[in-house]
Structure 1
Amino acid sequence: MVQDFINKNFSRLLIFTLIFGVILYDTIGFDYTDELCSLLLFVLFLKYVFSTPHWEVNKMFLVTTAVFLFYLCYSFYIGSNSKAAIITDFVVQYKPYLGFFCVYAIKPVVSPTYKKLICEICIVLGIYLLGVGIAYQISPTNLNYISMHPSRLATSVSIISLLYLYCSDFTQRDKAIFILLMVVGLLSERSKFYGFFIICVAMILFVKPSFKFKLNIKNIILCSIVLALVLFFTYKKMNIYFISGGDFLGDDEKIQDSIARAALYFYAPDILSDYFPFGSGFGSYATYASSVYYSPLYNHYGMDGIYGLSKHFGSFIADTYYPALAQFGYVGICLFFLFWGNLALKALRSHKFAYKEALMALMIILFFMIECTTDSTITHNRGLFMMVLLGLLFSDIRHIVAQDKNKKILSSK
């Protein structure tokens, strides 16, 4: 059967992508692993579609694709950058959504055998990342030997922890192992990971199947405590990016990195106003393509003199994501948050029927909301993997909800 073929090959692709497209991605140095995995996933999607009687394609997938194609044509029309820059950025920005919708469409089921294998692999990789984290604590330069940045360590830990939780039986023991795996990420010393760690632990410990997402004293107190802890560990970075605007001088690279990010946030409103309502277009601002094919906007707004944003050294141009939404204007920003808000609402509504899946979906949505503040993870290899996992979760949610409806129909007869 076609579905059996898809299930087996998707599980194999998931393991391959985890090892070579996430954990060893920087060490190997092959920059197109995620593109290769995306292509293979798309092949599975095409096989599924052409095997269905009416060539079934999700409507939300078609709408999302139409939006991206509109912005592609718009970018060519206004000449946001060179054609190569526009096409490159289109592919990079579209890739994570393609991964999500392909998985959601093919409805893969990971067998118990593969789930057990993946859990074992995640534990082994967790031990490996623990060694990496300890080496980083001994001397930060140790990460140079495996070409890994501390932020990559943090996101890799998030991925193996969530994947383990998905493939586990979700017992108390499994939840404890999930938390222990997440603890490894604390060695990265990334403030955004501290925030994500606190949120995940709080959700695992306090959000039960009987939990009601509504305003009451208990929930307000719980959310206030979690928010206070998150702000405690992330306030310094939030102050730099959103309050002080990086308005200080320093020679330390971390400080210069912060100034570059703050500058990207600072000038984003100007771009939104000047290119109302659809933004400056693909390859024009705060993206990888706008760095490689240096965008004229940086010179126009006087940003080319900022360390990390210059033509000859643009390493920090794609170091965050939210400012890049200026490329899509106010309309694009609304569509971006509408997409994620829609997914969050779907997860919340299915919480009683698919507790584990809904909880994990909310975790991943929050992961992206946090990551987008100081990294463009969503457009990278790690973001693609998270989007694939998110697509898998929503595919499971759809199946569980459908089963529940069928049971109700049968019981009413």
Structure 2
Amino acid sequence: MSFILILFLIFQDMILKNFPSDSILNYWDESLTLLLIIIAVLMLLAGKAVLKKADLLVIMTMVAIVVVGLISNLMFRLQPSGMTIIRDIVGFVKFPACFSAMRIIGLDDFFAKHMKLQSIQILRIIVIVEFLLSIISLFKNIGMSQSEIRYGIRPFEFLFSHPTYLVLANVFILVILDSTLFSKGILKYEFMLLIVITLSMRTKGIAIVLVYMVFKYAAKYLKRAKWLVWPGAFLAIYVAGISKVKLYLTYSGSPRQSLYEGAFKLMKEYFPIGSGFGTFGSMLSGSNSSVYNFIGISGAWINGELTTVLGDAGYAYFIGQFGFLGCLLYIAMFYVMYKVATEQKKKLPGIILLLYVIIALTTEATTSNAGTQIGIILSIIIRMEYLGQKNMELV
């Protein structure tokens, strides 16, 4: 039963794309986040849970950022809708709140211990199916690729609504398998996963594939110069992303360029606390925020209709809304999560998932859109790393 939830977290886009956009099911992540927060608080008040130092630090920095954002809302009044502010707060806290709540309640331990061999075999079958279909899609249109051409091929999206969701789902599968299997068991599935992610033709997907290879394989040959691993990872990100950056620089006024320019303008204008929740860099901000009266975002509205452009730059959201102080707090919170992930014997799965978040935030609101899934799965794989489930090795 517990594995069914894991599958839902991985493939929720594939499932929910068949429901209307205004369906109540589309609020599952906000509802689950609030439920986890309530249970965690009640258990702490009842003395049935222990608050670890790392989780205390995550919660404190998260709350501090919320306070910074609310102070901005009260001072500058750029967002008149209280409901928009509340919804944006919930969207912001998904990632850190779910991560810490899972650990406080003990659900990370529960899910990790119930990750049975049969569950891993199901993921193995899914990987094989995805891989075979991705190869077939290279030569024949079977309705699982986008119509656009990137680098000479059509981006593979499987049954997801967009290749971005394919990348995230397969990163989840990769880190789960890497948390439970050793080299003998994971190698062939790892290869297939990296191919599938690459065939999505998303820059972030290609970047995380290169980063994974640097950490997993290049690091073995750099034992006497481990300090080269991180520069190597950032070089891989640079190699994967430089062509896209050059493309953006070839024309001015692109949506993402407008978002980042606007974000830094807000950081300067409302230093050091930013413009506040629901004011910039999110779809929620598009209907009520007065920020857009003096900061124009190219392509945000077409014929008076709001497009998805406003959510196309995750870092712009943080920089503009929370300012210099909020960004420092977020970096501190992220660093605490990184330290928790690297305290385990197997550090790679946690590092890869966190690096994916860092990469993806350049072009999308990853922690707002998928914060619940990322927070929950990060907590589980860290616990699986700690438990060292050798019995799951596949041959």
Any idea what the Cα deviations from partners look like across 1:126-146, whole Å, max 9, x if unmatched?
A: 245446645765352498995
1:204 aligns with 2:216: yes
Any idea what the Cα deviations from partners look like across 1:97-124, whole Å, max 9, x if unmatched?
A: 1111111222332466533233123223
Q: What secondary structure, in the 3-state scheme, does the structure 1 residue paired with 2:217 have? A: helix
Q: Cα gap change, 1:272/1:119 in structure 2, threshold over 3 Å: closer, same or farther?
A: same
1:188 maps to amino acid: S
1:308 aligns with 2:315: no
- In structure 1, C-alpha distance between the alignment counterparts of 2:202 and 2:181, rounded to whole Å: 30
Partner in structure 2 of residue 98 of structure 1: 97
1:290 aligns with 2:285: yes
- In structure 1, C-alpha distance between the alignment counterparts of 2:350 and 2:207, rounded to whole Å: 17
- In structure 2, C-alpha distance between the alignment counterparts of 1:376 and 1:132, rounded to whole Å: 29
Contact preservation (8 Å) 1:260, 1:309: no
Q: Map residues 7-406 of structure 1 onto 2, 5 A cutoff.
A: 13-19=5-11, 21-28=12-19, 30-42=25-37, 45-46=40-41, 48-49=43-44, 52-53=47-48, 56=51, 58-77=55-74, 78-81=76-79, 82-107=81-106, 108-109=108-109, 110=111, 114-130=115-131, 133=134, 137=138, 138=141, 139-141=145-147, 146=159, 148-166=161-179, 168-207=180-219, 218-219=225-226, 226-241=233-248, 244=249, 246-247=251-252, 259-291=254-286, 293-303=287-297, 306-309=298-301, 312-325=305-318, 326-348=320-342, 350=343, 354-356=344-346, 358-381=347-370, 383-395=371-383
- In structure 2, C-alpha distance between the alignment counterparts of 1:276 and 1:287, rounded to whole Å: 20
2:173 maps to amino acid: I
- In structure 1, C-alpha distance between the alignment counterparts of 2:250 and 2:258, rounded to whole Å: 7
Contact preservation (8 Å) 1:275, 1:329: yes
2:290 maps to amino acid: P
| CA-CA distance at 1:264 after TM superposition | 0.6
| CA-CA distance at 1:80 after TM superposition | 2.6
Any idea what the Cα deviations from partners look like across 1:295-351, whole Å, max 9, x if unmatched?
A: 221231233xx2235652332110120001110000011111122223334444x3x
Any idea what the Cα deviations from partners look like across 1:191-240, whole Å, max 9, x if unmatched?
A: 121111011122122446x986xxx7x34665555544433332122234
1:203 maps to amino acid: F
Contact preservation (8 Å) 2:40, 2:101: yes
1:378 maps to amino acid: T
Q: Larger deviation: 101-110 or 66-75?
A: 66-75
TM-score, normalised to structure 2's length? 0.79
Q: Cα gap change, 1:25/1:187 in structure 2, threshold over 3 Å: closer, same or farther?
A: farther
Any idea what the Cα deviations from partners look like across 1:74-95, whole Å, max 9, x if unmatched?
A: 2441323122221111111111
Quote the RMSD (CA, aligned, Å).
3.3
Query: Matched residue pairs, number?
Result: 364
Q: Cα gap change, 1:271/1:240 in structure 2, threshold over 3 Å: closer, same or farther?
A: farther
- In structure 1, C-alpha distance between the alignment counterparts of 2:227 and 2:329, rounded to whole Å: 29
- In structure 2, C-alpha distance between the alignment counterparts of 1:277 and 1:53, rounded to whole Å: 39
2:184 maps to amino acid: Q
Q: Where does structure 1 lack aligned partners over 5 or more consecutive residues?
A: 1-8, 249-258, 401-413
Contact preservation (8 Å) 1:264, 1:286: yes
- In structure 1, C-alpha distance between the alignment counterparts of 2:164 and 2:187, rounded to whole Å: 24
Any idea what the Cα deviations from partners look like across 1:150-202, whole Å, max 9, x if unmatched?
A: 21111121112212222x23233224422322221111111121111011122
Q: What secondary structure, in the 3-state scheme, does the structure 2 residue paired with 1:301 have? A: coil
Contact preservation (8 Å) 1:195, 1:234: yes
Q: What secondary structure, in the 3-state scheme, does the structure 1 residue paired with 2:278 have? A: coil
1:307 maps to amino acid: G
Contact preservation (8 Å) 2:95, 2:368: yes
| CA-CA distance at 1:285 after TM superposition | 0.8
| CA-CA distance at 1:262 after TM superposition | 1.5
| CA-CA distance at 1:32 after TM superposition | 1.9
Q: Cα gap change, 1:393/1:126 in structure 2, threshold over 3 Å: closer, same or farther?
A: closer
Contact preservation (8 Å) 2:215, 2:348: yes
- In structure 1, C-alpha distance between the alignment counterparts of 2:266 and 2:137, rounded to whole Å: 39
- In structure 2, C-alpha distance between the alignment counterparts of 1:102 and 1:316, rounded to whole Å: 31
Contact preservation (8 Å) 1:122, 1:161: no
2:308 maps to amino acid: S
2:306 maps to amino acid: F
Any idea what the Cα deviations from partners look like across 1:331-390, whole Å, max 9, x if unmatched?
A: 011111122223334444x3xxx321x222111121111010111111113x42222122
